[in-house]
Chains A and B, each alone.
Chain A
Amino acid sequence: KNQVEQSPQSLIILEGKNCTLQCNYTVSPFSNLRWYKQDTGRGPVSLTIMTFSENTKSNGRYTATLDADTKQSSLHITASQLSDSASYICVVSPMFSGGYNKLIFGAGTRLAVHP
């Protein structure tokens, strides 16, 4: 069973609309949870990083929330732009991995923003 599951698998929205992507995880305890954006053919770019004690973190039009009780995180994109078309990946770092780079990745949500 995947320790980090994302939904939906893919999403199409119109430019200017808002959307919310979901991430459910079973990794416990965990050190931090990250959201990455990956454009086609490029490496992922970090959007937000939250420790287990944080509830929300914003980066421009991107806002991530974390509910450690329900083990859920969401990424909310406001006023979407065509350049938001990409894959969004949720990543969890286990607490005692012996080195934070042993990250556990979700499969990602593929977002397409149409004009």
Chain B
Amino acid sequence: KAGVTQTPRYLIKTRGQQVTLSCSPISGHRSVSWYQQTPGQGLQFLFEYFSETQRNKGNFPGRFSGRQFSNSRSEMNVSTLELGDSALYLCASSLVTSGTTTDTQYFGPGTRLTVL
């Protein structure tokens, strides 16, 4: 079974630009979550989508947005890029989502975004 794929793997943008990252979950998985990872802050939760609906959102500004399509693929968009947005953006998929499940999350390799 193919794993979680993310495209592109590397991206260089300049301040003020916008960027769209893509994530394809494992076949059959309906939940997709996005995370930002920086050396100073570690992994931080951005948002989670399930069946095309955003179920949870972390503490990030409105410049960060996402969506999920009917085939469970998800995209994340960052508008008006800032230097501090430079990070590894990770996507993770799982079968279902609920408050107490121990369903395993599978992470993709990430997209390394550099903002100049």
Contact = CB atoms under 8 A, between A and B. Distances in A.
Interface of A: 31-32, 41-46, 49, 51, 89, 95-108
Main secondary structure of the interface of A (DSSP, over half): loop
9 contacts: A44-B43, A49-B104, A89-B43, A96-B99, A100-B99, A101-B48, A101-B92, A106-B42, A108-B42
B109 A99 contact: no
Given A95-B99, A101-B105, A43 B92 contact: yes
Interface in B85-107: 90, 92, 94, 97-107
Contacts, number: 73
B56 interface: yes
A41 B6 CA distance: 13
Contacts of B94: 101
B44 interface: yes
A27 B41 CA distance: 18
B31 interface: yes
